[in-house]
Amino acid sequence: MNSNDFVTLFFLVAAVVIFWQLRSVLGRRTGNEKPPADIFGERAKDSAGPSDEDRVVTLARSEAEDRFAAIDAFSPAGTPLNQQLRELAQVDPSFTPKEFLNGARAAYEMIVTAFASGDRATLKGLLSAEVYDGFDAAISERERSGSVMKFTFVGIEKAEITSAGVKGNEEQITVRLFSHLISATYDKMGTLIDGDAEAVVEVNDIWTFARDTRSRDPNWKLIATESEQ
| 120-144 pLDDT, tens digit each | 999 999 999 999 999 999 999 999 9
pLDDT at 61: 55
CA distance 104 to 81: 17
Beta bridge partners of 108: none
Assess contact for 97 and 75: CB atoms under 8 A.
yes
Q: Write down the mean pLDDT value for the chain.
A: 80
Q: Say if residue 96 is exposed, middle or buried (CB neighbours under 10 Å; 0-12, 13-18, 19+).
A: middle
pLDDT at 23 over 80: no
Instruction: Determine the average pLDDT of the residues in 200-213.
Output: 96
Q: Structure pTM?
A: 0.71
pLDDT at 139: 97
What ranges in 146-210 are assigned the alpha helix state H? none
Instruction: Determine the average pLDDT of the residues in 91-119.
Output: 95
Q: Compute the radius of gyration of the chain from its Cα atoms.
A: 39
The pLDDT confidence band at residue 215, using thresholds 50, 70 and 90, is confident
Q: How far is CA 38 from CA 43, 62, 111, 152, in A?
A: 7, 34, 67, 75
Assess contact for 183 and 149: CB atoms under 8 A.
yes
Nearest Cα neighbor of 211 from 56, 104, 57 is: 104
Assess contact for 159 and 175: CB atoms under 8 A.
yes
Q: Which residues contact 61 (CB under 8 A, 6 or more apart)?
A: none
User: Phi/psi at 190 (nearest 5 deg)?
Assistant: 90, 10
The pLDDT confidence band at residue 64, using thresholds 50, 70 and 90, is low
Instruction: For residue range 165-197, list pLDDT tens digits in order.
Output: 999 999 999 999 999 999 999 999 999 999 999
Residue 182 vs residue 25, higher pLDDT: 182
CA distance 142 to 153: 20
CA distance 74 to 59: 23
Instruction: For residue range 141-172, list pLDDT tens digits in order.
Output: 999 999 999 999 999 999 999 999 999 999 99
* ∠ Cα 97 103 104 (to 5°): 85
* ∠ Cα 75 80 83 (to 5°): 75
What are the structural domains, with CATH classification, of the chain?
93-228 (3.10.450.240)
Instruction: Determine the average pLDDT of the residues in 35-55.
Output: 41
Residues 204, 218, 59, 63, Cα dihedral to 10°: 0
| Rounded-to-5 percentages of helix, strand, coil across the chain | 50, 25, 25
Instruction: Determine the average pLDDT of the residues in 102-118.
Output: 96
